[in-house]
Amino acid sequence: NSRARVLEAELYTRARELQELNERLRQSHAREREVALALQEAMLPPRRQVRPGRAAVRYRPAVGALNVCGDWYDVVDLVGGNRIGVSVGDVVGHGLGAAGVMGQLRSALSATSRVADGPAQALDVLGRYAHVVDGAESATVATTFIDFDARTVTYSSAGHPPPVLVHPDGRVEFL
């Protein structure tokens, strides 16, 4: 009888310790998620980056406790005419690690796009850079250069789903 009480008290103590550990882990995960969300949002391009009236953006990150990812986009004015570059990418993983890799790749592609001859060259340079970034080996990206004067869209994809073109009549076309 006394042995059963000792065992019961020990089980109660262990259960309480597990409960406390579980709560600390939950709080730690919540803090990491909060920081990752703030980091992800801070790394999105500023609205002033592209001349007014050139692009409209609606970014909706994944929701849920485990869905802070490395998905990203970028819109940049390109050198030489009435042109913009639009990129969308994803880094495999969740949390701060994925958000950090996302920021490195987005920044590198933003800089590369401004001097590249086209989207394929920009992605080629980004691919070389990605080889030295831990966590970038499974990243995907699609980038598009839009020339408003020539009325052309040039794009390239590195494992990412293709861009979608929405025509004035509402038709949707995967490029």
* Span 65-107, pLDDT tens digits: 445 567 788 888 898 888 999 999 888 877 777 878 888 999 9
Residue 128 has phi, psi (to 5 degrees) of -65, -40
Q: Whole-angstrom Cα distance, residue 43 to residue 36?
A: 11
| Cα-based angle 48, 52, 56 (whole degrees, multiple of 5) | 90
Average pLDDT score, the chain: 83
Mean of pLDDT values over 138-162: 92
* Residue type present at position 102: M
Within 65-116, strands assigned E span 72-77, 83-90
- Residue 130 — pLDDT band, cuts 50, 70, 90? very high
What's the rounded mean pLDDT across residues 14-39? Answer: 82
- Residue 90: how many other CB atoms lie within 10 Å: 20
Structure tokens at 105: 């790749």
| Confidence label for 42 from pLDDT (cuts 50, 70 and 90) | low
What is the predicted pLDDT for the residue at 92? Answer: 82
What's residue 122's pLDDT? 97
**Are 45 and 63 a contacting pair, CB within 8 Å?**
no
Higher pLDDT, 28 or 121: 121
Between 57 and 121, the more confident residue is: 121
Tokens 């980004």, located at residue = 126
